[in-house]
Structure 1
């Protein structure tokens, strides 16, 4: 029996092994992804990002518990940890804060390292989400490393993006300065029992009032993707014609994840966002944009691989040496190598 068939049959051991194959970009993993792709497209992908120390892992833990207890939904968690730039290793310690989920067969937690990729998301995260989707997990939560501005990658992958902030981190608008406020569908002020929560929430509200755009425009490889907002539900819903779409302003939800407070209200806000995306047509547009980004990335990877096969290492090194000696510009080197050296 192939990995893909075993995963479709609900075998957890096969799922675990396939995830390893996918993360390592093995041939077996690629073959399984091809077989599983027709079975994908049903899961709700939730991205959770924010500054380090805001309690993202504890929040994910409580959110998964809520979905299991109230809706009996199968939940998969992909916890992305940063890799060391020196050793290449990663702690992969997020599951330490998710011990409440241990023993539940309806929950699958997978930690993975960024392996140097930018944006807080490893290259294989999207593929791993597809495997969970095909395996029948209805909710897939992707917790990222909280790297800052490059966290826009999670907005391209997830249907709903939660940006988590916490008071007492030295700056009430840390998330805004990091540039990740703009990708939020829902703003979460976690650890709201701490002093200064009112100031944090006030700062976030004032920035939302200042921004308050009727629509945002995401650039996908030069193509503008317009995103409208709905004030009643709280997040962006992309439509090609957004003039008639209701405006969505990200709601601000207080939580205390260590005590489970505010989690039910957060889940309700997420449900409203899903309803908004479905009603406005934003779900289909986001899915198209997500697959477009994935397709472009695969095309780029394939073209680079073919280029490496056609150009010898000596030709490449010779061009690089001439660049170092300033005898050839990078543009001239590319033109030379693309023409066969």
Structure 2
């Protein structure tokens, strides 16, 4: 048995014993792409099923505060909760810019809650494939519900719909918030809407705008009609009803046999993310090919084929 296999065996044993430090170590190995982490994933993937809720929305909508309140609701019902807060990555250092866990610090002594920040790694403004791998580890560790809070910019809204069982879009009465959601095409992927900071002026107006837009939206699988919940996360107002809505959507997926399709789409997204990251790294070391594209000597397609198969290098 190799050193890596020994390390994987030891970590796997501790992981299955419920050692939180082993979970943290496994997440670090997976996020960094370490072979031991990949070996753990193969052994642990698909062993459990958690209710995965994606939470997205524009910056400043109160996603972290709302997530904090939803954690409390889940704990009241005896659920073990995992949270992945996907932070934006600096395009220069690759490090995470924000630390949304700060807003959830009240849970740090609760053994039934585990919160982890992940960097988006510049995945075109969206989720990194490591997020899906981390999800698989949290599921295998036995969490009943996992919240994935996204950066809320760029591609992340569309990505989260491919990863989560239920997608919650958080909007505010701020001017133009609903209009931006319509432009971005997020209306088609959200399963539920929360109009947060509903105590601010304009709350009723944005609900009416959402209702009007949803009347024109295409039908959802199984005939689901996305509900809209007014919330004030700072005080907890409306959060219990929102949590019940999340549960109702999950039960809808179960009743209509839609969960398996969600899991397959999640795996497809993960494979695509690995290919995308691989291509990005290979392109960084292909200065000659890139220069030839810039000079018009090669098409981007020819350069990409050369990276995929060096034998085809023109």
TM-score normalized by structure 2? 0.88
Alpha-carbon shift at residue 289 of structure 1 (Å): 2.1
CA RMSD of aligned residues (A): 2.4
Matched, 1:32 2:40: yes
Alpha-carbon distance in structure 2 between the residues aligned to 1:132 and 1:55: 24
Identify the match of residue 45 of structure 1 among 46, 52, 77: 52
Task: Answer yes or no: is 1:136 the counterpart of 2:121.
Answer: no
The alpha carbon displacement at 1:288 in A equals 2.1
Answering whether residue 255 of structure 2 is matched by residue 285 of structure 1, we say: no
The match for 2:201 among 195, 202, 227 is 195
1:255 is aligned, of 227, 231, 253, to 231
Looking at structure 2, the residues matched to 122 and 275 of structure 1 have their Cα atoms a distance apart, in angstroms, of 28
Unaligned runs of 5+ in 1: 215-228, 230-236, 238-244
- Trace 1:296-307 onto structure 2 (pairs within 5 A): 296-298=272-274, 300=275
Higher relative contact order (CA 8 A, sep 6+): 2
Contact 1:323 1:330 in 2 (8 A): yes
Are 2:78 and 1:108 aligned?
no
Measure the CA separation in 2 of the matches of 1:274 and 1:333. 44
Q: What's the offset of the Cα at 1:139?
A: 0.4
Distance 1:86 1:169, change over 3 A: farther
In the other structure, the counterpart of 2:96 is: 90
Instruction: Pick the aligned partner of 1:273 from 249, 254, 275.
Output: 249
Q: Give per-residue Cα distances to partners, 1:91-132, cap 9 Å, x unaligned.
A: 342111112212100000001111111253122000000000
Pick the structure with more helix per residue: 2
Residues 92 and 111 in structure 1, CA contact (< 8 A), matched pair in contact too: no
Quote the Cα distance in structure 1 between the aligned partners of 2:305 and 2:32: 32
- Can you give the 5+ residue segments of structure 2 that lack an aligned partner in the other structure? 1-8
Indicate if the aligned counterparts of 1:81 and 1:144 stay in contact, CA closer than 8 A: yes
**Alignment partner, residue 117 of structure 1:** 123
Match of 1:232 in 2: none
- Once the 2 structures are TM-superposed, how far is the Cα of residue 326 of structure 1 from its aligned partner? 2.2
CA contact under 8 A between 1:148 and 1:178: conserved in structure 2? no
The whole-number CA distance in structure 2 between the counterparts of 1:157 and 1:177 is: 22
Change in CA separation of 1:333 and 1:64 when aligned onto 2, cut-off 3 Å: closer
Determine helix, strand or coil for the equivalent of 2:193: strand
Given the two structures, how large is their TM-score scaled by the length of structure 1? 0.81
Give the structure 2 partner of residue 218 of structure 1. none
The runs of 4+ residues in structure 1 deviating greater than 6 Å are none
Q: Which residue of 2 aligns with 1:59?
A: 66
In 1, distance between residues paired with 2:185 and 2:128? 20
In 1, distance between residues paired with 2:83 and 2:287?
A: 42
1:327 maps to which of 279, 297, 301: 297
